[in-house]
Structure 1
Amino acid sequence: MTASATIHPDATRQQAEAWQRQTSLRRLYTVLGVGLLLAAMIASMWFADEANAGHFFERLPHLLDFLSWLVPKDWNDVWRALFDIASPNDKGTQEFNFPLGRVHLWGGFYIPEYFELMLTTVNVALVSTFIGFVFAVPFSFIAARNLTPHPALRLVVKRFMELLRAFPEIVIAGLFAAIVSTGPIAAIIAIGLHSIGALGKLFYEINENIDMRAEEGLRAVGANWFERVRFADLPQVLPNFMSYTLLRVEINVRASTIIGAVGGGGIGEELKLSISRGFGAKTLALVLLLFTTIFLIDQFSAWLRRKLVGEQAFLMGAA
């Protein structure tokens, strides 16, 4: 008892000293890492500024000059532009020709131009997400280590999905625009292919964490691979699949807007033209519509995910 009492304080002191040395070493590495990161950032920003013909930092004070061009003289023109209502400021120029964009359906009923363009953007996102979901689901079961029918097939599918998500959507859209011309089709193909790779990775990671007891039970009674996936695996993961798919819809709405700015159709193309021409009322109307649409999609997706996954999952995450 006496020997133990004598040894114990020494061991505790040694452990404390070792912990202090390790903590000091980690702090040193952290400081060095942050310092190197800051040095790399400063060097890269300096290089970018020197390579920029306009010298970014020299032109930065003129940022407010650009924003001042987008402030409309009459703020009511923002609502007129949004709903294609004639403006008293119209002098025959494109800046205030709001009624010309109306999409007439029948009689005096019409859809405002920007609402029709926003529908195109949302449709591109929905169709692209659907394509991504349809292909990502089977690929994810093949790519999962615990479910794959053959290791070589798993390797091929994983590399294929990595290739699809390796390139930004805008790069893929540029490639297909040269093949099928500019428009929503190129945007759908580009975002759809990227969605296959992105959703496939998320899905197969979910698959690798499922409860294998149902799979083993069906295997014991002679079920083939497709039957095990259909009746044992898919019911476990489908709510999480739908949750990630809804999140992907939100991402694809933003992606379709960006691609639209480079010829993919929809609201992005009109937004780019409006900004480049300095049409303040039209630009603010487009930004307002885009923000409202994304906000509503985000809220609806969050509500639907809670219904699919269960409110308890979100409460546990918050705790």
Structure 2
Amino acid sequence: MATLDQGGLTDAGRVVHDHYRALVRTRRVYTILSLAALLAVLLGALWFANAANSGKFFERLPYFFDYFIHFQPDDAMEIVRALFDLPSPHADGSFKYDYEVGRVYLIGDLYLPEYFYQMLVTINIAVVSTLMGFVLAFGLCFFAASNITGSRLVRFAARRGFEVLRAFPEIVVAGMLVAILSIGPIAAIAAVALHTVGALGKLFFEVVENADMKPDEGLRAVGGSWLERVRYGLVPQVMPNFISYALLRTEINVRASTIIGAVGGGGIGEVFRLSIGRDHAAKTYAIIILLFVTVVSIDWLSGYLRKRLVGQSAFQFGG
């Protein structure tokens, strides 16, 4: 009969209890050391930023809002006029801004305001680059998945390729491509598409590796080829997640396309940079409002579509 100690534990129970207490103590020590190291790195980074390369950040912090206080339009309606390219008259009958320059006339006097047109250009860059990245990532991700591709060399090449494509920020690639392809949306599309291939490729092959392999085993048992196993055994399972990730990437690419516009990629980012550089407060706030509404709308629509896709049967996409 096992004896009990003062705590009501047997000898075996006491061993387990002591081992558990030792693990808890070890975990607490590592947690405290990790927090101390993180705090030291944070303090060191703040000191270095302030002392070496911040331009006296903390000294200028009290004046942070001075720019926004002085950067104001003449009146609130000036923002509305800038957004819709409406006349902005002075008392002498002249116009403060020549809004008609950037209009895109559709039929007769019916026109699309400049900023709406530039916003459409940015969205077009994001959508086209996402579609291109989706197609390439879809075609390459199966070569990177260990459960469908047996060759280590093929998997290594596919995975390293994805890493290289997503290693460089879109704005860096766009800056290089602008020098080669000239200023315009083409360089932006190429830069965002290349980064999208790397980002989606990694997500896609991880989804493939987590797929149920029973359909693949059945197809292999009846002599199905590699392509048939991918088409009928894996694609119906992974397609909903692929589309969900593609929609999420579209949101990210809209923001990336806006930033790339500031370095010559065209779209709303370019006119935003010009409006700030020319000290046009009304135009700047009009673009900010348009950007905010557009991004929130795209985020909401993308989230709604992703939620609907996740709730559907995966085999509805199998064809």
The normalised TM-score by structure 1 is 0.91
1:240-296 C-alpha deviation (Å, 9 max, x unpaired): 100000000000000000111111110011112222333221111101111111111
- Structure 1 range deviating more: 88-97 or 238-247: 88-97
Q: Which residue of 2 aligns with 1:316?
A: none
Q: Which residue of 2 aligns with 1:63?
A: 64
Q: Secondary structure at the match of 2:105?
A: strand
**Equivalent runs, 1:208-223 vs 2, <5 Å:** 208-223=209-224
CA contact (8 A) 1:70 1:283 kept: no
Q: State the shift of 1:185 in Å.
A: 0.7
Q: Which residue of 1 aligns with 2:311?
A: 310
In the alignment of these two chains, the number of paired residues is 312
Task: Say whether 1:129 aligns with 2:130.
Answer: yes
Q: Which residue of 2 aligns with 1:317?
A: none
Q: Which residue of 1 aligns with 2:193?
A: 192
Q: Which runs of 5+ in 2 are unaligned?
A: 315-319
**Equivalent runs, 1:153-168 vs 2, <5 Å:** 153-168=154-169
Task: Say whether 1:36 aligns with 2:31.
Answer: no
Output the amino acid matched with 1:120.
Answer: V
Identify the structure with the greater helix proportion: 1
Q: Which runs of 5+ in 1 are unaligned?
A: 314-319
- Structure 1 range deviating more: 115-124 or 58-67: 58-67
Matched residues in 2 for 1:150 and 1:69: separation?
63
CA contact (8 A) 2:208 2:238 kept: yes
**Equivalent runs, 1:165-314 vs 2, <5 Å:** 165-310=166-311
Output the amino acid matched with 2:148.
Answer: L
Q: Secondary structure at the match of 1:38?
A: helix
1:75-125 C-alpha deviation (Å, 9 max, x unpaired): 111111110111134889996333332211221100000000000000000
1:93 to 1:55, Cα distance in 2 relative to 1, 3 A: farther
- Structure 1 range deviating more: 186-195 or 21-30: 21-30
Q: Secondary structure at the match of 2:9?
A: helix
Q: State the shift of 1:202 in Å.
A: 0.3
Output the amino acid matched with 1:82.
Answer: L
Q: Which residue of 1 aligns with 2:85?
A: 84
Task: Say whether 1:22 aligns with 2:20.
Answer: no
> What percentage of aligned pairs have identical amino acids?
53
Q: Secondary structure at the match of 1:105?
A: strand
CA contact (8 A) 2:87 2:95 kept: no
Q: Secondary structure at the match of 1:104?
A: strand
1:223 to 1:50, Cα distance in 2 relative to 1, 3 A: same
- Structure 1 range deviating more: 4-13 or 213-222: 4-13
Q: CA RMSD in A?
A: 2.3
1:295 to 1:311, Cα distance in 2 relative to 1, 3 A: farther
- Structure 1 range deviating more: 270-279 or 233-242: 270-279
1:8 to 1:27, Cα distance in 2 relative to 1, 3 A: closer
Q: Secondary structure at the match of 1:96?
A: coil
The normalised TM-score by structure 2 is 0.91
Output the amino acid matched with 2:208.
Answer: N
Q: Secondary structure at the match of 1:147?
A: coil
Q: Secondary structure at the match of 1:8?
A: coil
